[in-house]
Structure 1
């Protein structure tokens, strides 16, 4: 019962984290132009892994997709690869988790299902690490440019997609560890159960020779009745 509860909780955490990680890819605001030190703001610049946009004071946005993948900065290409890898790993981790969970009817014996569950936990841990690395790499580039006094171009701040990615990757890591922990609980030594069958009266086994009715004395041939608290 404890293992099943742990697996259900881990499955909810990992699926929620995977959905959040997937939602970061189409999210627009990975970085937003900073208004620090600007008196009059006429436009807001923002971008993600696929395009860069500008929104004027009237609310009209003009976006431009990145023209070439090979001409992109290295950190954007690395973030793309890490986030796509995280989404793929989360998908396969969800399949392994459904097969290995104790509450499902597929996957074989309990020992084999426990191994599949542990493997699903490792996959989700890798998913969380990939997503955490991609989001942190993008955030590191933004912060390094923001605090660099020699950087004279437009400076940006952290967008909402980065915080969503951090939250989703954290849930994947916690859920993956919980999946592995459920196998540790299953692999523990079984508890020995002792049952009490009550006290057993022991009657001394004396060999008695055959006696006739004539040899019997009054009172000796009658069976003896012992009290329940008397033991021999």
Structure 2
């Protein structure tokens, strides 16, 4: 029962993290223009993995999609690939988790369900690592440009999407690890129970049922039994004469 509750908690953590990771892709604010050293702000610049935008003082935003995928910076292409991989891995992990959990009635035997649930945990761990790497690469580029004194272009700060992605990545990894640990505990319990039953059956077959508990000899033979006809043939034929 405890392993079932652990699987349910792992499923809640991992799916919540996958939803958070998926929500970072369409989120606008991956990086926001820094207001450090500015007195009057006339426009705010922000961008994500797909477009760059500017919002003026009146609240009107003008956005421009990135014109070419091949002309993008390498870190943006890497972040796109990692985030899409994280979403796909989390999707398959959610399906495998629903099939492999004990509280569901699909997936076959307990052994096959345990393997499916373990695969779901691996998918969630990989999804969390992919999204964590993407957010960290993007944040590292922002911070390196911000603290570089030779960088004279517009400097940016970390946007809200990065923090959401980090939180979702941690939840995915924690949920996947909980899935793997729950399956490992189930296997250890099943092996220990089978060993106990085997040893008990072996001892019961070798020990006799007498009060002293002596060991019964396996090669002991029963005493010979003679039939009535063989005894009659041993008498002398002149015994009545």
- After TM superposition, the score normalised by the length of structure 2 is 0.79
Question: Which residue pairs with 1:2 in the alignment?
Answer: 2
Q: Deviations over 1:201-225 (max 9, x none)?
A: 96xxxxxxxxxxxxxxxxxxxxxxx
Question: Which residue pairs with 2:130 in the alignment?
Answer: 130
User: Quick check: 1:159 aligned with 2:164?
Assistant: no
Q: What displacement does 1:95 show?
A: 0.6
Question: Which residue pairs with 1:100 in the alignment?
Answer: 100
Q: What displacement does 1:112 show?
A: 1.2
| Whole-angstrom distance in 1 between the partners of 2:55 and 2:103 | 50
User: Quick check: 1:170 aligned with 2:170?
Assistant: yes
Q: What displacement does 1:111 show?
A: 1.2
| Whole-angstrom distance in 2 between the partners of 1:68 and 1:11 | 38
User: Quick check: 1:146 aligned with 2:181?
Assistant: no
Question: Which residue pairs with 1:229 in the alignment?
Answer: none
| Whole-angstrom distance in 2 between the partners of 1:124 and 1:94 | 8
- After TM superposition, the score normalised by the length of structure 1 is 0.82
User: Quick check: 1:70 aligned with 2:70?
Assistant: yes
Q: What displacement does 1:106 show?
A: 1.0
* CA root-mean-square deviation: 1.7
Question: Which residue pairs with 1:224 in the alignment?
Answer: none
Q: Deviations over 1:130-151 (max 9, x none)?
A: 0000010000000000000000
Q: Deviations over 1:84-128 (max 9, x none)?
A: 000000000001111110111111111111111111100100000
Question: Which residue pairs with 1:11 in the alignment?
Answer: 11
Q: Deviations over 1:30-75 (max 9, x none)?
A: 0000010111111000000000000001111000000111000000
Q: What displacement does 1:190 show?
A: 3.6
Question: Which residue pairs with 1:44 in the alignment?
Answer: 44
Structure 2's unaligned 5+ residue stretches are: 201-208, 212-241
| Whole-angstrom distance in 2 between the partners of 1:116 and 1:79 | 29
| Whole-angstrom distance in 2 between the partners of 1:16 and 1:86 | 13
Q: What displacement does 1:165 show?
A: 0.1
| Whole-angstrom distance in 2 between the partners of 1:149 and 1:187 | 57
Aligned length: 198
| Whole-angstrom distance in 1 between the partners of 2:88 and 2:210 | 69
| Whole-angstrom distance in 1 between the partners of 2:51 and 2:185 | 47
| Whole-angstrom distance in 2 between the partners of 1:117 and 1:149 | 50
- The 3-state SS of whatever aligns with 1:41 is coil
- The 3-state SS of whatever aligns with 2:52 is strand
Misfit runs of 4+, over 6 Å: none
Greater share of helix residues, 1 or 2?
Answer: 2
| Whole-angstrom distance in 2 between the partners of 1:112 and 1:186 | 13
Q: Deviations over 1:162-195 (max 9, x none)?
A: 000000000000000000001111011344599x
